[in-house]
Structure 1
């Protein structure tokens, strides 16, 4: 079973409750690179806070698979993506998914760049 969870505002008691529920995969999405966190994510979420929660999850329950995702196409640079991938790796995350951001409505942020999957290999 996989659970996609909030970052619980860094509350480790809440995190432990979820992790001890018997789930196999704990997912908490970083969503974007550090520079774009505030315009992209809910103001209550933070880049460092998400990485902290993912790292603590792995420390508390090492057998639970940790997973996060990054959306691409919001104006991030290649270097920023690489930095985020390194931050994710350094936090002990097991699985990273990368996906193209697709604007759900006109009220959401526009797509800045369409990422060709062939270019993601480099």
Structure 2
């Protein structure tokens, strides 16, 4: 995009290498094999996540529904974009079968953005939630949706299915939206999170995540954290932006572990029940642990 490429610091290279080395070959093969068997997509593969090896080795994956082609073309994202194909009506059933085989206790389901669908894919999200809740030993379910075009009827469709966590990523500060978020709106995303917090059924947590290293200033990050807390978001992830290729938006800054810890402390002080912040943190990374943290804190408060 014309900018000078910022070299990746050695400490972060080491972190990425370590994450890739954390593999249990047999479990990795088991997860990969079942994803192929049931014809399922994952954001782990589609977005070239650096944690894919370690997550697969722990028996987890983040499912990506509604196909593997996005109608938007965000400057930070590696998922293919273009004209999506027809919806796969059997996808919820196959996903349910795969989850049962894998024995997952907490399932994260995200999707490509489907601006071509009148409800943004909300009905399929609801069908997936209902299918997973019908399992003999149902997992807790976290849905990470696109902005659904800002349609409150679509949001209601998803929330009525009672996911344990409703998530939508804010991604970055307002100023950077025009540069990195194709056809998205900061206000639309923030309003969706605010409405989710107001409309969520009892027990549903509202979650979001954003990246650092895109050119944001510290005051803007602090303001973003406070605004997200103000609208009722309870769970937060903060990670380092890593450009998927030379054609994507360039990394403007590599954030230290110490700074991530400072943002986590600020977020907790601002009222978030769960905060996961670090260089390789992604919105669904160790999502089950983050959800359990919220449940444990709620149980502790009830005991008091």
TM range (shorter): over 0.9
1:52 aligns with 2:221: no
TM-score when normalising by structure 1: 0.94
Give the SS at the match of 1:26: strand
1:103 aligns with 2:103: no
Q: Which residue of 2 aligns with 1:42?
A: 182
> How many Å separate the matches in 2 of 1:120 and 1:54?
23
Give the SS at the match of 1:98: strand
Q: Which residue of 1 aligns with 2:170?
A: 30
Unaligned runs of 5+ in 1: none
Task: After TM superposition, give the deviation of residue 71 of structure 1 in Å.
Answer: 0.3
> How many Å separate the matches in 2 of 1:112 and 1:62?
40
Give the SS at the match of 1:3: strand
Q: Which residue of 2 aligns with 1:119?
A: 259
> How many Å separate the matches in 1 of 2:225 and 2:259?
16
> How many Å separate the matches in 2 of 1:75 and 1:69?
17
Q: Which residue of 1 aligns with 2:229?
A: 89
User: What is the total number of aligned residue pairs between the two structures?
Assistant: 121
> How many Å separate the matches in 2 of 1:108 and 1:86?
29
Q: Which residue of 2 aligns with 1:3?
A: 143
Give the SS at the match of 2:236: strand
> How many Å separate the matches in 2 of 1:69 and 1:26?
12
Backbone CA RMSD of aligned residues = 1.0
Q: Which has the higher contact order (CA 8 A, sep 6+)?
A: 1
- The answer to whether the 8 A contact 2:144-2:166 is kept is yes
- The answer to whether the 8 A contact 2:162-2:201 is kept is no
Q: Which residue of 1 aligns with 2:4?
A: none
Give the SS at the match of 1:79: helix
Give the counterpart of 1:21 among 158, 161, 165.
Answer: 161
Task: After TM superposition, give the deviation of residue 24 of structure 1 in Å.
Answer: 0.6
- Over alpha carbons, which structure has the higher Rg? 2
1:48-88 per-residue CA deviation (whole Å, 9 max, x = no partner) reads 11110011011111531111011000010000100111110
1:8-36 per-residue CA deviation (whole Å, 9 max, x = no partner) reads 12100000001111211111000000100
